[in-house]
Amino acid sequence: MIQESAVRPPLVLGDKTYSQMTEDIMKPLETKPNLLWFGAFSIAALVMTMGFALIGYLFVTGTGVWGLNKTVGWAWDITNFVFWVGIGHAGTLISAVLLLFRQKWRTSINRAAEAMTIFAVMCAGIFPVIHTGRPWLAFWMLPLPNVHGSLWVNFNSPLLWDVFAISTYLTVSLVFWYIGLIPDIATVRDRAEGLRKKIYGALAFGWNGSARTWARYEVVCLILAGLSTPLVLSVHTIVSFDFATSVIPGWHTTIFPPYFVAGAIFSGFAMVHTLMILTRSIFKLEEYVTMYHIELMNIVIIITGSVVGLAYGTEFFIAWYSGVEYEQYAFLNRAFGPFAWAYWTMITCNVITPQLFWFNSIRKSAVATFIISIFVNIGMWFERFVIIVTSLHRDYLPSSWAMYSPTFVEIGIFIGTFGLFFTLFLLFAKTLPVIALHEIKTVLKTSGEKYKQAAASRVEKGSAGESPVMPEISLARKPQQETEI
Amino acid sequence: MAHHPTEFKVEHFTFDDKLRKTLITLIVVGLVIAGLGVFMAWKGENAGHDSHGEHHSSVVEQNIPSALTSNETESKAEVAGETEKLQGEQTTDSATVQATETHVAEANTHSAHAEGHEGGHHGPIWLKRFWANILLNNFYFIGIAIFGVFFVAVQYVANAGWAVSLKRVPESFGSFLPVGFVLMLLLIPGMHHIYHWMAEGVSEVGHPNYDKIIAGKSGYLNMPFFLIRLALIFGIWILFYTIMRKLSLKEDEEGGTKNYYKSIRTSAIFIICFAFTLMMAAWDWLMSIDVHWFSTIYWVYTFAGLFVSGFVATVFFLIFLQGRGLMQHVNENHFHDLGKFIFGFSIFWTYIWVSQFLLIWYANIPEETLYYVPRFLGHYKVLFFVNLFINFLFPFLYLMTRNAKRASNSLSTIVLVLAFGHWLDLYLMIMPGVVGENNGFLMEIGFFLAYLGIFGLVVFKALSKAPLVPKNHPMLDESLHHHI
- Taking the C-alpha atoms of residue B46 and residue A396, their distance in angstroms, rounded to an integer, is 52
Domain hosting B271: range is 25-59+125-480
Our count of domains for chain B comes to 1
Instruction: Decide if A473 and B98 are in contact by the 8 Å CB cutoff.
Output: no
Q: Does some domain include residue A452?
A: no
* Nearest beta carbon to residue B5 from set A6, A326, A467: A467
Per-residue model confidence (pLDDT) at position A2: 60
Alpha-carbon torsion (A246, A248, A249, A250), positive or negative: negative
Distance from CA of A126 to the nearest CA of B (A): 27
Per-residue model confidence (pLDDT) at position B2: 42
Phi/psi at A204 (5° precision): -80, 0
Q: Is A448 helix (H, G, I), strand (E, B) or coil?
A: strand
Q: Is A19 helix (H, G, I), strand (E, B) or coil?
A: helix
Q: Does some domain include residue B14?
A: no
Per-residue model confidence (pLDDT) at position B337: 93
Supply angle C-alpha A461, A465, A471, rounded to 5. 60
Q: Does some domain include residue B65?
A: no
* Nearest beta carbon to residue B363 from set A102, A252, A321: A252
Q: How confident is the model at residue B49 (pLDDT cuts 50, 70, 90)?
A: low
- Taking the C-alpha atoms of residue B129 and residue B111, their distance in angstroms, rounded to an integer, is 24
A331: closest CA among A314, A318, A339, A319? A319
Q: Is A246 helix (H, G, I), strand (E, B) or coil?
A: coil
Coarse DSSP helix, strand, coil percentages of chain A, rounded to the nearest 5 percent: 75, 0, 25
User: What residues of A are in contact with residue B102 (Cβ under 8 Å)?
Assistant: 326, 396
- Statement: residue B147 has pLDDT above 90: yes
Listed in sequence order, the residues at least 6 apart from A263 whose beta carbon sits closer than 8 Å to its beta carbon are A86, A236, A304, A308, A311, A350, A380, A383
What is the average pLDDT across A438-467? 77
Per-residue model confidence (pLDDT) at position A450: 87
Alpha-carbon torsion (B431, B432, B434, B435), positive or negative: positive
* Nearest beta carbon to residue B6 from set A322, A326, A466: A466
Q: For B350-390, how does the pLDDT look when each residue is reduced to its tens digit (9 = 90+)?
A: 999 999 999 999 999 998 999 999 999 989 999 999 999 99
- Statement: residue A183 has pLDDT above 80: yes
Phi/psi at A154 (5° precision): -85, 100
B183: closest CA among B226, B127, B140? B140
- Shortest CA distance from B290: residue in chain A: A322
* Nearest beta carbon to residue B217 from set A233, A321, A469: A321
Instruction: Decide if A468 and B472 are in contact by the 8 Å CB cutoff.
Output: yes
- Statement: residue A470 has pLDDT above 70: no
Distance from CA of B373 to the nearest CA of A (A): 17
What ipTM was reported for this prediction?
A: 0.90
Instruction: Decide if B351 and A257 are in contact by the 8 Å CB cutoff.
Output: yes
Q: How confident is the model at residue A330 (pLDDT cuts 50, 70, 90)?
A: very high
User: What residues of B are in contact with residue A248 (Cβ under 8 Å)?
Assistant: 95, 99
Q: For B321-335, how does the pLDDT look when each residue is reduced to its tens digit (9 = 90+)?
A: 999 989 889 999 999
Cβ(A30)–Cβ(A371) below 8 Å = no
What is the average pLDDT across A46-60? 95
Q: For B232-245, how does the pLDDT look when each residue is reduced to its tens digit (9 = 90+)?
A: 999 999 999 999 99
Q: Within a 10 A sphere around the Cβ of B141, how many other Cβ atoms?
A: 26
- Statement: residue A351 has pLDDT above 90: yes
- Statement: residue B59 has pLDDT above 90: no
Q: Which of B359, B364, B392, B401 to mutate to test the interface with A (most CBs of A within 10 A)?
A: B359
Q: How confident is the model at residue B407 (pLDDT cuts 50, 70, 90)?
A: confident
Instruction: Decide if B363 and A245 are in contact by the 8 Å CB cutoff.
Output: yes
Per-residue model confidence (pLDDT) at position B52: 44
- Shortest CA distance from A311: residue in chain B: B296
- Per DSSP, the residues of B290-347 read STT---TTHHHHHHHHHHHHHHHHHHHHHHHHHHTT--TT--HHHHHHHHHHHHHHHH
Q: Does some domain include residue A453?
A: no
- Statement: residue A356 has pLDDT above 90: yes
User: What residues of A are in contact with residue B213 (Cβ under 8 Å)?
Assistant: 323
SS (H, E, C) A326-382: HHHHHHHHHHHCCCHHHHHHHHHHHHHHHHHHHCHHHHCCHHHHHHHHHHHHHHHHH
- Statement: residue A79 has pLDDT above 80: yes
Distance from CA of B253 to the nearest CA of A (A): 12
* Nearest beta carbon to residue B216 from set A100, A247, A323: A323
Q: Does some domain include residue B32?
A: yes
What is the average pLDDT across B27-53? 81
* Greatest alpha-carbon span in chain A: 83
Q: Is A12 helix (H, G, I), strand (E, B) or coil?
A: strand
- Shortest CA distance from A320: residue in chain B: B217
Instruction: Decide if A468 and B296 are in contact by the 8 Å CB cutoff.
Output: no
Domain hosting A28: range is 17-447
What is the average pLDDT across A54-81? 92
Distance from CA of B338 to the nearest CA of A (A): 12
What is the average pLDDT across A431-447? 90
Cβ(A256)–Cβ(A358) below 8 Å = no
Q: For A218-254, how does the pLDDT look when each residue is reduced to its tens digit (9 = 90+)?
A: 899 888 888 888 888 889 999 999 999 999 999 999 9
- Taking the C-alpha atoms of residue B178 and residue B183, their distance in angstroms, rounded to an integer, is 9
User: What residues of A are in contact with residue B283 (Cβ under 8 Å)?
Assistant: 321
Per-residue model confidence (pLDDT) at position B82: 44
More confident residue, B143 or A459: B143
Q: How confident is the model at residue A132 (pLDDT cuts 50, 70, 90)?
A: confident
Q: Which of B297, B473, B480, B481 to mutate to test the interface with A (most CBs of A within 10 A)?
A: B297
Q: Does some domain include residue B13?
A: no
- Shortest CA distance from B105: residue in chain A: A324
- Statement: residue B19 has pLDDT above 50: yes
Instruction: Decide if B297 and A254 are in contact by the 8 Å CB cutoff.
Output: yes
Instruction: Decide if B355 and A472 are in contact by the 8 Å CB cutoff.
Output: no
Q: For B86-130, how does the pLDDT look when each residue is reduced to its tens digit (9 = 90+)?
A: 444 443 344 444 444 444 444 444 443 443 343 334 678 899 999
- Taking the C-alpha atoms of residue A119 and residue A112, their distance in angstroms, rounded to an integer, is 11
Residue B289 CB-half CA count within 13 A: 27
Cβ(A399)–Cβ(A370) below 8 Å = no
Alpha-carbon torsion (A275, A276, A277, A280), positive or negative: positive
User: What residues of A are in contact with residue B298 (Cβ under 8 Å)?
Assistant: 254
Q: How confident is the model at residue B8 (pLDDT cuts 50, 70, 90)?
A: low
What is the average pLDDT across B60-73? 42
Q: How many Cβ contacts (< 8 angstroms) between chains A and B?
A: 133
Q: How confident is the model at residue B201 (pLDDT cuts 50, 70, 90)?
A: confident
User: What residues of B are in contact with residue A397 (Cβ under 8 Å)?
Assistant: 94-95, 98
Q: Does some domain include residue A256?
A: yes
Cβ(A305)–Cβ(A349) below 8 Å = no
What is the average pLDDT across B56-81? 42
Phi/psi at B340 (5° precision): -65, -40
Q: Does some domain include residue A7?
A: no
Distance from CA of B367 to the nearest CA of A (A): 9
Distance from CA of A411 to the nearest CA of B (A): 28
Per-residue model confidence (pLDDT) at position B195: 93
- Shortest CA distance from A259: residue in chain B: B297
User: What residues of A are in contact with residue B340 (Cβ under 8 Å)?
Assistant: 100
Our count of domains for chain A comes to 1
Alpha helices in B218-281, H assignment, sequence order: 223-254, 258-281
A92: closest CA among A204, A203, A183, A175? A175
Instruction: Decide if B294 and A318 are in contact by the 8 Å CB cutoff.
Output: yes
Distance from CA of B19 to the nearest CA of A (A): 32
Instruction: Decide if A318 and B296 are in contact by the 8 Å CB cutoff.
Output: yes
Q: Which of A4, A469, A472, A474 to mutate to test the interface with B (most CBs of B within 10 A)?
A: A469
- Statement: residue A364 has pLDDT above 80: yes
Instruction: Decide if A323 and B213 are in contact by the 8 Å CB cutoff.
Output: yes
Domain of A292: which CATH number? 1.20.1630.10
Q: Which residues of B115-139 are buried (b: 16+ CB within 10 A; e: fewer)?
A: ebbeebbbeebbbbbbbbbbbbbbb
Per-residue model confidence (pLDDT) at position B7: 54
- Taking the C-alpha atoms of residue A255 and residue B297, their distance in angstroms, rounded to an integer, is 4
- Environment class of A417 (CB within 10 Å of its CB; exposed 0-12, middle 13-18, buried 19+): buried
Q: How confident is the model at residue A139 (pLDDT cuts 50, 70, 90)?
A: confident
